[in-house]
Structure 1
Amino acid sequence: LQDLPEFFQKIIPSGVSYKHDQTWHDGNGYAHLRAALVGPDITVPFIAGKMILGTWQQIVFLDFDNRARNRKVIVKIMGE
């Protein structure tokens, strides 16, 4: 996880003028591109009430925006 900020800064740097910034003038075009790369959701399998993750897998919440916002995490559980 510690490498992620440097990785995203290399492939989608902040401080660059993106089309989004030219339209909305909010300076967070890089955040939208990073979020599009990561995606908005995940699906995690459960067996017998336990999450099935690999040894080195974990669930993380990434917020790329340049200002604080209130966020909601929605968990939806579906049966077989």
Structure 2
Amino acid sequence: MKVVTRQIKKSTKGFNDIIDLTEDIELFVNEENLAEGQLLVFINGATAAITTIEYEPGLLKDIPEVLEKIAPMDATYHHNETWHDGNGYAHVRASLMNPMVILPVYKNRLVRGTWQQIVLIDFDNRSRNRTITLQFTGHSVL
């Protein structure tokens, strides 16, 4: 059994910035010769999420629009009353999604659908430098 961890950095704009991580993640699988196991993709932070989507213009608009209906930016949040940072909505949105996904690796390839990309969504109210942790557990090519 092998465990391999790598961190990648991404600069974001905040405000529902959606960044495709698929190429970076596939590069990790290839460079480390990962054969079979599970790959955890985790965002370090409480105002962002990791998920899978079809990375296309319609969904890049739909996702922020739906999240605005669920957790509006201009709603009253107790978090804002405590911290006065105006990003209570970002914390709520991130908690409704997930900080991570777990993806299978099989026969030296990341298992995903043809139109399924792995994305980082930054909900914060400012630009950020984000760290994404990739951690593989499984077997590598000998």
The verdict on a shared fold, with TM-score over 0.5 as the criterion, is: yes
Q: Report Cα offsets for 1:13-57 as digits up to 9, x if no partner.
A: 101120100100000000000000111111000101111112332
Structure 1 or 2: more strand by fraction: 2
Structure 1 runs of 4+ with >3 Å offset: none
Q: How does 1:1-80 map to 2 (within 5 A)?
A: 1-2=59-60, 3-79=62-138
**For the aligned residues, what is the CA RMSD?**
1.1
Residue identity in the other structure for 2:106: I
Q: What stretches of structure 1 of length at least 5 have no aligned partner?
A: none
Residue identity in the other structure for 2:125: N
Higher relative contact order (CA 8 A, sep 6+): 2
Residue identity in the other structure for 1:73: I
SS in 1 for 2:135: coil
- Partners of 2:114 and 2:69 in 1: CA distance: 28
Q: Report Cα offsets for 1:56-80 as digits up to 9, x if no partner.
A: 3221110000011211011101116
- Partners of 1:68 and 1:50 in 2: CA distance: 33
Residue identity in the other structure for 1:57: Q
- Partners of 2:123 and 2:101 in 1: CA distance: 17
SS in 2 for 1:16: coil
SS in 2 for 1:78: strand
SS in 1 for 2:133: coil
**TM-score, scaled relative to structure 1:** 0.92
- Partners of 2:76 and 2:83 in 1: CA distance: 11
